[in-house]
Amino acid sequence: MDYQSLAFASVFPVPSLSHTTPTPIATPDLGYTVPGQSFGSPYISNASGQHRAVRRNLAWSTATRFLSLPKQIVGTNASFDALRLPRNLEIEDALVYLLVGEGKSEGKHEESLVDWYTSEVRLHFANLVRPILEELWNKVFDVFWYEIELRHAWELLGHTQEVLQRVQHLYLQSFSDHILPFLLQNNISSSSSTIRPNRPTHAADAYAADSTDWSFRRDIHAVFAHCVPSQRFSKTLSYILYDSGCKLFRIYARQDGVQPVPEPDDIRASRQRMTDLLQGLEQVGLGGDIAQKAFAHSMDKLLDSFITSHYLKVDWFSKKSVVPQIRMWIRDGFCPLVELVMECLRCDPSNVQPTELQSWQEMALGRLGRARVDDLFDFVINWDRSKGAILDIKEYLKIAGAKQNLTSSFSQQISRRLLHPGATTTYILNVYIFIIRAFHELEPKGVLLERVARPIRRYLKDRDDTARIIISSLLTNLKDESGTKFTSGGELSYEIASEMQQPFENRDHEPDSELDWNDINWQPLPTDASPEYKKSKVEDVIWFLLTLWEREDFINELRNILGDHLLRCQDPEYQNEIRLLELIKIRLGEDKMQACEVMLRDVLDSKRINDSIRASRPSPLRTPELTRQPRHPRIPRKPRTPRTPQGVPRTPLSGRLTTSTPHVPSWTPNAPAGTTLNAQILSSFFWPLLRDDEFLVPAQIQTLQKEYESRFERIKGMRKLRWMNALGDGAVTLDFSDRTEEYDKLTPWQVSVIYAFQPQPGEEQNVRKGKAKAKDASISRNVAELEEMLEMDELLVRQALAFWAGKSVLRETGPDTYEVVEILSTSASDTDAAAAAQELAEVQAQAQAGAVRSQSDVLLEKKEVYMTFISGMLTAQGNLPVNRILMMMRIMVQGGFPFGAEEVRELLTVMESEGKVVALGGDSFGIRK
């Protein structure tokens, strides 16, 4: 009978293969003789064969009856010999005869006594023990289905181990007491006989006895392992080992959701309980591959849980990495536990090799690194308090495949949490700065930064306000006394402004450092760098911000924003502006910064020119003082209005007038007493296009402008000035019947409009008569009247009226009619009307803000000129692509063409709708014929 048949019969009993019933005692059938043949003699070989068969059958019957297993399971410590008949001489002779004597099996046609006993064990286990174990496992998993409670897992494995140890003791007792001793005794007697066998023969006999014992134990352990459901056993044992590890290492964030007890268990008791269970399972044959796989699975979960429980939190204060602590725990905590379990399971080898220690440390570092990468966006926006987590990721990048995982994961986080319309440009810029700082610490080479920042840079380039926010923030002072400069929804970035306070190195600008053969510090590009990667000598935050655009586009934008800023700046020294230009020259070169330098020199020279004009005569620019009249609004300080010299080609020069006056009567047509005037003289060729709204300023201000202009002509050689009134600012003080109000930082048209509410020649007597009759009599003006008086655009008039109505200086008494509020009312209707007017004024002021005209305004103003030029160019040269048209316009258009390809396409689209050009495909256009 082959081994497979025996294994099958142990699980599914076959009556024809059953050896449980011993051979009965009966007269053997020796056959019969034919006529004329003798009954035989001892010297005939056939007779000796028949005699051996008879004797073997008798010995077989005696031995199998004695070795038959009981029909019940005895206790763990009980002896089966107490239930069977004592072994006598006849039984010993039968055992010796069948095991080592002449009755030993010869060939495959005779079954040996060891094989019979093995089959007897299989059938006994299948009939009596297997149903008990199946009922035990099915009962537990029927109640808890797939996963079982921790308490029941310990009980299940403990009960299974107890049952198997009991039956193993039963099976091994008979084998060890009645079969194995005869095999070993035969080896001993053979070695002590007169004719000494050679060493190979003796070694073979000893090996045969040991092999028989090992084979029998292997067979019963295979039966034990086969009766236990492997998948359920593996999961249950893994659960037990994971629980033991959590208790040993005080893990509170477990994957099974079990909450730690308030009073932790004794570590020694937990360790002893685990080792006892593992040793017991190993003794009954359940410590093989299934147990080792369960152990590996539990250690994998334990590693994750330990890192999550103890090292996933970020140290926000010390800013140190936890990687050294994890490596130490793997060496001093995890490895000893693994060696203990391997020793209990009798694994070979049971010691942890150095390569395995390094592998486990890398595995733990990989778990920590992947968890850190999943939260990298949060660490970036909390830089530099999260420096410890960034250092953990830096160690993680040494593992193969870590950089690809970081790039992919962080790009998804950026796309989901940053690059969407709900995020303001200021917020995106701040996060981009945090990314630059964090990734410089993470990987100084900049390869990873170049990969993850690519979509951010593209997104920022597409936003219209990016350049304005960057340059405005660079020009902003960090001091914020009011606390409203760097608000969360504002357009100024504190991070960008703080970068201006950092010292920077004055390094020579090198366009292409790869061709610098004299650079002894040259290093090759990293092997994992992309084709777009470019290493610069100066790579700070400002360098990354300034290189968002092409150099030409950025300098044009800088010129527009800087011009508006210089006209509004209150710092007479312009320290931030000087520092910014020096910094940009270092990063982008000096060849394109001439216009910005001239603009800065203009505002610095204006202060010197003002001092020279004041010193040109003994008395400063002042107007004669007048007699003060009470209870009338007065304007102590007039708006600052710009002016430009005449006779300069191209764009007009702009100047900026600053006036300051003491309190004087506001009803008189003369200038306020003690008014002084300051101006800014600008070189029009280098400045961007400025606002040029035309309107009349008060006559007193006009007198001061003429006197200033005459003195300037004497100093500057008869150069002419043209005043740009829309670019000034000023402050006024208004006297009312019940109050006095002061306002500063006003636009010139706001000052002109409120000044127009003073009595004009011929109205003063009417006002005085009205005051005698009505205490609160005041002058009224309507929109049309103000437009005619001030020669001002209607939009500016309405914006100024809404502003003063919001300040409760004016109130609307009829359609487009306003009057001065001499006595402030506390009624709810007046308060609501003032609030609504103020809100409207703020909206209109935002639309009117900016001394430099926007690109869209310039394009709209010169649209007809540009369209005429395009039409003539297409007529002369034929069909042209958009890029060729753009290049020709930048070269040929007078004053330059400060726009890009998108604006050219817009103009061509308008011309196509008007039937002047036709699209030819391939981004080319031609004249419609």
pLDDT of 764 > 70? The answer is no
How many domains in the chain? 4
Read off φ and ψ for residue 730, nearest 5 degrees. -160, -175
Residue 658 lies in a domain: no
Residue numbers of the domain that contains 339: 232-253+262-346
Q: Give the residue from 379, 367, 443 showing the smallest Cα distance to 410.
A: 379
Q: Residues 315-341, buried b or exposed e (16+ Cβ, 10 A)?
A: beeeeebbbeebbebbeeebbebbebb
The C-alpha atoms of residue 854 and residue 851 are separated, in whole angstroms, by 9
Average of per-residue pLDDT across 533-545: 69
Question: Using 50, 70 and 90 to split pLDDT, how confident is the model at 13?
Answer: low
pLDDT tens by residue, 367-376: 999 999 999 9
Domain stop point among 314, 346, 378: 346
Give me the chain's average pLDDT, please.
76
Cβ proximity of 377 and 417 under 8 Å:
yes
Q: What is the pLDDT of residue 877?
A: 86
CATH code for the domain in which residue 877 is found? 1.10.10.10
Q: Are residues 557 and 418 in the same domain?
A: yes
pLDDT tens by residue, 778-794: 678 888 888 888 888 88
Q: Are residues 339 and 382 in the same domain?
A: no
Residue 36 lies in a domain: no
Q: Name the more confident of 56 and 895.
A: 56
Residue 64 lies in a domain: no
Q: What is the pLDDT of residue 642?
A: 46
Q: What is the pLDDT of residue 373?
A: 94
Q: What is the pLDDT of residue 511?
A: 46
Question: Using 50, 70 and 90 to split pLDDT, how confident is the model at 396?
Answer: very high
φ/ψ bin of 118: left (φ > 0), alpha (ψ from -120 to 50), beta (otherwise)? alpha
Q: What is the pLDDT of residue 510?
A: 47
The C-alpha atoms of residue 178 and residue 120 are separated, in whole angstroms, by 15
pLDDT of 61 > 70? The answer is yes
Q: Are residues 405 and 552 in the same domain?
A: yes
Average of per-residue pLDDT across 295-316: 89
Q: Are residues 451 and 547 in the same domain?
A: yes
* Range from 10-24, 724-738, 881-895 that averages highest in pLDDT: 881-895
How does DSSP classify residue 16? Answer: G
Average the pLDDT over each of 63-67, 152-156, 389-393, 538-542 and give the range with the smallest value.
538-542
Average of per-residue pLDDT across 568-591: 79
> Which residues, 6+ apart, have CB-to-CB distance to 8 below 8 Å?
14
Q: What is the pLDDT of residue 324?
A: 93
pLDDT of 362 > 50? The answer is yes
The C-alpha atoms of residue 880 and residue 406 are separated, in whole angstroms, by 46
Q: What percent of the chain has pLDDT over 70?
A: 71
Domain stop point among 603, 624, 640: 603
Q: Are residues 581 and 491 in the same domain?
A: yes
pLDDT of 619 > 50? The answer is no
Q: Residues 557-566, buried b or exposed e (16+ Cβ, 10 A)?
A: bbbbbbbbbb
Q: What is the pLDDT of residue 729?
A: 76
Q: Name the more confident of 85 and 574.
A: 574
Average the pLDDT over each of 216-220, 287-291, 354-358, 619-623 and give the range with the smallest value.
619-623
pLDDT of 328 > 90? The answer is yes
How does DSSP classify residue 253? Answer: S
Q: Are residues 376 and 436 in the same domain?
A: yes
Q: Are residues 899 and 859 in the same domain?
A: yes
Q: Are residues 598 and 464 in the same domain?
A: yes
Question: Using 50, 70 and 90 to split pLDDT, how confident is the model at 395?
Answer: very high
Residue 51 lies in a domain: no
Please name the amino acid found at residue 668: T
Residue 374 lies in a domain: yes
Cβ proximity of 3 and 10 under 8 Å:
no
DSSP strand pairing (780-782 vs 817-820): antiparallel
Residue 299 lies in a domain: yes
pLDDT of 174 > 70? The answer is yes
pLDDT tens by residue, 409-431: 999 999 999 999 999 999 999 99
Average the pLDDT over each of 462-466, 546-550, 642-646, 849-853 and give the range with the smallest value.
642-646
Average of per-residue pLDDT across 814-823: 85
Domain stop point among 847, 871, 889: 847
Q: What is the pLDDT of residue 433?
A: 93
pLDDT of 768 > 60? The answer is no
Q: What is the pLDDT of residue 189?
A: 56
The C-alpha atoms of residue 424 and residue 560 are separated, in whole angstroms, by 22
Tokens of 918: 């036709």
Q: Are residues 803 and 921 in the same domain?
A: no
Cα 112 to the center of its chain, rounded Å: 71
Average of per-residue pLDDT across 648-677: 37
Q: Are residues 284 and 407 in the same domain?
A: no
Residue with tokens 């199946």: 134
Q: What is the pLDDT of residue 50?
A: 63
Average the pLDDT over each of 206-215, 283-292, 589-598, 822-831 and give the range with the smallest value.
822-831
Q: What is the pLDDT of residue 325?
A: 93
Average the pLDDT over each of 12-21, 92-101, 326-335 and give the range with the smallest value.
12-21
Cβ proximity of 725 and 695 under 8 Å:
yes
Average of per-residue pLDDT across 38-44: 43
Q: Name the more confident of 708 and 198.
A: 708
3-state SS class at 440:
helix
pLDDT of 809 > 80? The answer is yes
Average the pLDDT over each of 199-208, 450-459, 679-688 and give the range with the smallest value.
199-208
Residue 173 lies in a domain: no
Task: Please name every residue paired with 881 in a beta bridge, in sequence order, or none if there are none.
Answer: 924
Question: Using 50, 70 and 90 to split pLDDT, how confident is the model at 763?
Answer: low
Q: What is the pLDDT of residue 680?
A: 80
Strands lying side by side in the sheet with 780-782: 780-782, 817-820, 810-814
Q: Are residues 830 and 885 in the same domain?
A: no
The C-alpha atoms of residue 203 and residue 185 are separated, in whole angstroms, by 14
Q: Name the more confident of 470 and 650.
A: 470
The C-alpha atoms of residue 480 and residue 589 are separated, in whole angstroms, by 32
Q: Are residues 270 and 411 in the same domain?
A: no
3-state secondary structure 503-542: CCCCCCCCCCHHHCCCCCCCCCCCCCCCCCCCCCCCCCHH
3-state secondary structure 607-630: HHHHHHHHHCCCCCCCCCCCCCCC
CATH code for the domain in which residue 827 is found? 3.30.230.130
Question: Using 50, 70 and 90 to split pLDDT, how confident is the model at 265?
Answer: low
Q: Name the more confident of 365 and 211.
A: 365
> Which residues, 6+ apart, have CB-to-CB distance to 160 below 8 Å?
133, 136, 137, 228, 286
Q: Name the more confident of 497 and 347.
A: 497
pLDDT of 629 > 60? The answer is no
Residue 664 lies in a domain: no
Q: Indicate the pTM of the whole model.
A: 0.69
